Structure 1
Amino acid sequence: MSTIVVTTWSLEQTSPADLLPAAAPEGDAVRVVRSEVPSPEFSRFLYASVGGDIRWTDRLSWSYDRWQGYLERPGTETWVAYDRGTPAGYVELDPQDDGVVEIAYFGLIPSFRGRRIGGHLLSYGAARAWDLAERWDGRPPTKRVWLHTCSLDGEHAMANYQRRGFRLFDTKVEEESDISAPGPWPGSASDTRP
């Protein structure tokens, strides 16, 4: 199997004041709603649909039970952007020790990219990471929000993170197996769009 060189950047905010929100899309067509009922089917749909063309594959082999266990952890949250009722993308918050929250996954379904939804969704998700303790009894106040992106992600990902006030704190360059992107329909004979 061939390999490719992948650069991974880790970024953080260490205060709610670091967040530089993007403007919300005009009108009321885009809403961001928390998916409060843990649903492996829905979360897998979001994961495969957002990451299918940019090599998100690590969770494709997860069993239903593994998804369920992950989603039921206290403090784990999925916030979904809807454009006129249709899921457009999501942000997943992963609570960690000592008031740290990772934005584990963030992105838009390919047909919704380039519509000025991503900055708004990232702003909303980062704000929810900062106020996570308000929704979860016993959770310490958030002291740090972090995420990572890599050279395989969308071409505007890094700039979006930096415009939202995330600062770079680590860079790694590694060789990884060159796997083909499964597209938004893993296992399908064709992943072309009209």
Structure 2
Amino acid sequence: MPRTLDTVVTYLEMTDDPGRSPRAPSLPGLALLKVEDIPLHYYRYLYDAVGRDWHWVDRKKLSDEDLAAALHRDTVDIYVAHVKGAPAGYFELERDLPGRVLLAYFGLIPDFIGLRLGGWLLDTAIATAWSHAPARVEVETCTLDHPRALGLYQKKGFRPVKRVEKTMTLLD
């Protein structure tokens, strides 16, 4: 029988551009790269490295064909932060609905948590989302996510609009 976990998903939105200029932390070799047509093995690595501790499973369930269809669209942008050439975290934006940008995935690889990258990367994701001139930017998080995730989203200007209880099926 598959393992399940109960969680509360919080949906958040931002309807005004905060107009913040992201301030990069002072780290040697910090770079942010937009990845075009991301190789699936690299995406799977990032997704697992960032999301393993937080029970990210949705994209792990997808076949290569379905994952490629989800990622390799003109309405999806993936940015990867690097420190000294090593991937440190990423964010993924989806612009599928008119007037909306979804921050679909965001996070850091555990080795890079605590280096003041999270706030900068989130500010960068928000600024990038607003560069598309949407009416709103949305994100969701859940109680299985990093304990500071919800607070960070709210600190950066997102406000909760809905909470839903869900049961997640984990992979073996």
TM-score (norm 1): 0.80
Q: CA deviation at 1:96?
A: 2.2
Query: C-alpha deviations, 1:33-60, integer Å up to 9, x for none?
Result: 1112332121111111111121111111
Query: What's 2:75 paired with?
Result: 75
More strand by share: 2
**Alignment length, in residue pairs?**
171
What stretches of structure 1 of length at least 5 have no aligned partner? 133-140, 183-194
Match of 1:172 in 2: 164
**Identical-pair percentage:** 35
> Which of 129, 133, 139 matches 1:147?
139
Query: 1:21: how far off?
Result: 5.8
Work out whether residues 10 and 170 of structure 1, in 8 Å CA contact, stay in contact via their aligned partners in 2. yes
C-alpha displacement at 1:31, in angstroms? 1.8
Instruction: Give the structure 1 partner of residue 105 of structure 2.
Output: 105
**SS of the residue 1:74 aligns to:** coil
- 1:63 and 1:28, CA in 2 relative to 1: closer, same or farther beyond 3 A? same
TM-score normalised by the chain length of structure 2 = 0.89
Cα distance in 2, alignment partners of residues 27 and 49 from structure 1? 21
CA distance in 2, matches of 1:92, 1:3: 26
**More off after superposition, 159-168 vs 30-39:** 30-39
Counterpart residue identity of residue 148, structure 1? E
Alignment of 1:1-194 (within 5 A): 1=1, 3-17=4-18, 23-132=23-132, 141-177=133-169, 179=170
Deviating beyond 4 angstroms after TM superposition, the runs of 4 or more aligned structure 1 residues are 19-22
Name the aligned partner's letter for residue 74 of structure 2: P
| Closer, same or farther: CA 85–99 of 1 in aligned 2, 3 Å | same
